[in-house]
Amino acid sequence: MPLGYTFALIKPSACRKNHVGPILAMINQAGFRISAIRSTKLTKQEAETFYEMHRGKEFYDSLCEFMSSGPIIALLLEKDNAIEDFRKLIGNTNPDMAEEGTIRKMFAESLQKNAVHGSDSVENMKREADFFFNQRERY
């Protein structure tokens, strides 16, 4: 997969509050093309595998409980410099520290319920994209 992709999730809290449309609009307006998209729901075990790198941290169990608490939207997004640009678009992990106009500033409810996930490296993007999408679902 070329480097111009990132993987994203709209988290259960943002889906519950019907923020999916506005968040997708911001993503498109920022120049990202949607390569793959699906509404799905993780089991607790699947959330634990997705967030494997955080296993052992104090927030891990609660995070996996939350991430499996309701439907999510999985996204593969294409743009030059996608990983870095998407992290800028969503803002700081902690919404209190996120810049005005970022997705997390606008839609996060808390540090845990911070509206969206975005890949932090090419390696993790590939792993995360493969976790959700087969090749026939990517255009």
Closer to ligand UDP at the Cβ: 122 or 137? 122
Sequence letter at residue 101: G
Closer to ligand UDP at the Cβ: 109 or 137? 109
CB of 41 to ligand UDP, least distance (A): 17
Active site residues: 117
| 102-123 exposure pattern, b = at least 16 Cβ within 10 A, e = fewer | bbbbbbbeeeebbbbbbbeeee
From the list Mg ion, ligand UDP, none, partner contacted by residue 19 (C-beta under 5 to 8 A by kind): none
Cα angle 54, 128, 134; round to 5: 150
Point out which span in 11-19, 34-42, 44-52, 117-125 binds Mg ion (CB under 5 A).
117-125
Q: Tokens 């439907």 correspond to what residue?
A: 71
Closer to Mg ion at the Cβ: 35 or 119? 119
Among 40, 43, 93, 121, indicate the residue that binds ligand UDP (CB under 6 A): 93
CB of 94 to Mg ion, least distance (A): 12
DSSP 8-state symbol, 97: G
Point out which span in 30-38, 44-52, 95-103, 118-126 binds Mg ion (CB under 5 A).
118-126
CB count within 10 Å of CB 52 equals 10
From CA 55, how far away is CA 24, in angstroms rounded? 29
Q: Which two tokens stand for residue 74?
A: 């999985």
| Residues at the contact surface with Mg ion, assessed by CB under 5 A | 120
| Residues at the contact surface with ligand UDP, assessed by CB under 6 A | 59, 63, 93, 111-112, 114, 117, 120
